[in-house]
Amino acid sequence: MVATLDDTKRSAIGMKLAGMKELQNLLIENEQLFLRETNDADISDRFRKMLEDDQKNLGILDTVIVQYGVQAQPEKTITEMVQKLGQLMKGSELSLYEKVFQHELLKHQQVMTGLTIHKAAQKVGADVMLAIGPLNTINFENRAHQEQLKGVLEVLGVRELTGQEADQGIWARVQDAMAAFSGVVGSAVTQGSDKQDMNIQDIIRLDHNKVNTLFTQLLATDDAQKIQEYFGQIYKDLLVHSIAEEKVVYPAVRPFYGDSDTQELFDEQAHFRVLLDEIKATNASSPEFKDKIRKLMDEVGDHIRQEESTMFAAIRNNFSTEQSEQMTTKFKAAKSEEQQKMAQMSGMMK
């Protein structure tokens, strides 16, 4: 029997991601505050650029959490720490140097959490690696930010302690250290400042690739616990993806894609839900279990092919880039809402 759709280690990673988001908001607030509290042009420039990166990275973090598919609350200790430090930053007890010093420690925490999640994901499964892929961009940028912050700390620290200016050439040294990270950053999900979001085809394709990976992983293992874990994720992801398509995408494409083709997509998804519940009630170590999974995989495969060929063409031909990006934002919000509902429901059943 599939007793639960939740897997402990997947939830644990979900909590860490939620904590990163909370910390990311504090990083953004801090940088806005530093921009108000400094009149050094060099330092302002650096914080302005860092703030831009961090705001963009908050969006990427949102995408990662939704793609990961497990919404969780951050640990209480993180929430409390963020609150406490937020207060301290707004107060006048600390000098600017001391505030930036705390900020650098927070950046360090964000880097290490990101890197640890990345390493943990490698142990959990290929689908998790796929979902959290864009986290790499954030990790590399944060490493570069740390180098910048070291420079800022040197300038502010020397000034506060001695009233004199730091050595000339400090920013050149920072630049050299940062060069070590350049060229590594790059991802399909990188959002330029002119772009509101990814286009809708790309985000739908990410989901399709993820579910295919989950099917492959499930069929390749005979470990009952792994089978249950992968099925739990397939169940949640398919449900959330299909509901979000039905709320946001299908109604928008219907006028261009036609009633009968659109209806076909709705009907197929209704059948996925029947199959999912049938599988959920089947013993995971029985031979029928994998047979039913294969049947679901075939149906999902046909459905995906239709969406990625004709439906995507209808979107390309009838929606502007802006409209497509707006659809993505709505699609992600609809997914996030469903994921939160599911997390609440499974919390009530425990």
The position carrying tokens 């009630």 is: 281
Of residues 132 and 249, the one with the C-beta less far from Fe ion: 249
Report 311-350 residues binding Fe ion (CB under 5 A): none
Burial group, residue 286, by CB count within 10 angstroms (0-12, 13-18, 19+): exposed
Span interacting with Fe ion, options 102-110, 130-138, 142-150, 300-308, rule CB under 5 A? 300-308
Of residues 31 and 307, the one with the C-beta less far from Fe ion: 307
Q: How far is the CB of 154 from Fe ion (least distance, A)?
A: 51
Q: How far is the CB of 335 from Fe ion (least distance, A)?
A: 11
Neighbour count for residue 219 (Cβ, 10 Å)? 14
Of residues 54 and 307, the one with the C-beta less far from Fe ion: 307
With CA atoms as reference, report the closest residue to 231 among 244, 216, 243, 214: 214
Q: Using CB atoms, what's the residue nearest to Fe ion?
A: 245
Q: How far is the CB of 211 from Fe ion (least distance, A)?
A: 9
Span interacting with Fe ion, options 48-56, 139-147, 240-248, 331-339, rule CB under 5 A? 240-248
Determine if 197 is a binding residue for Fe ion (CB under 5 A): no
Q: How far is 117 from 28, CA to CA, in rounded Å?
A: 21
Give me the half-sphere count of Cα atoms (radius 13 Å) on the Cβ side of residue 77.
Answer: 2
Of residues 6 and 307, the one with the C-beta less far from Fe ion: 307
Residues 6+ apart with CB under 8 A from 293: 215, 218, 219, 231, 279
Of residues 229 and 307, the one with the C-beta less far from Fe ion: 307
Q: How far is the CB of 17 from Fe ion (least distance, A)?
A: 23
Q: How far is the CB of 321 from Fe ion (least distance, A)?
A: 20
Identify residue 259 by its one-letter amino acid code. D
Q: How far is the CB of 236 from Fe ion (least distance, A)?
A: 15
- 243 touches 249 (CB < 8 A): no
Q: How far is 139 from 111, CA to CA, in rounded Å?
A: 6
Number of amino acids touching Fe ion (CB under 5 A): 2
Q: How far is 7 from 229, CA to CA, in rounded Å?
A: 6
Q: How far is the CB of 237 from Fe ion (least distance, A)?
A: 11
Q: How far is the CB of 192 from Fe ion (least distance, A)?
A: 26
Of residues 155 and 238, the one with the C-beta less far from Fe ion: 238
Of residues 209 and 326, the one with the C-beta less far from Fe ion: 209
Of residues 137 and 262, the one with the C-beta less far from Fe ion: 262
Among 127, 229, 245, 338, binds Fe ion (CB under 5 A): 245
The position carrying tokens 């495969």 is: 301
Give me the half-sphere count of Cα atoms (radius 13 Å) on the Cβ side of residue 111.
Answer: 14
The CA distances from residue 66 to 131, 153, 159, 171, 339, in Å, are: 9, 36, 44, 38, 8
Structure tokens at 75: 């640990």
The residues that touch Fe ion, with contacts defined as CB under 5 A, are 245, 307
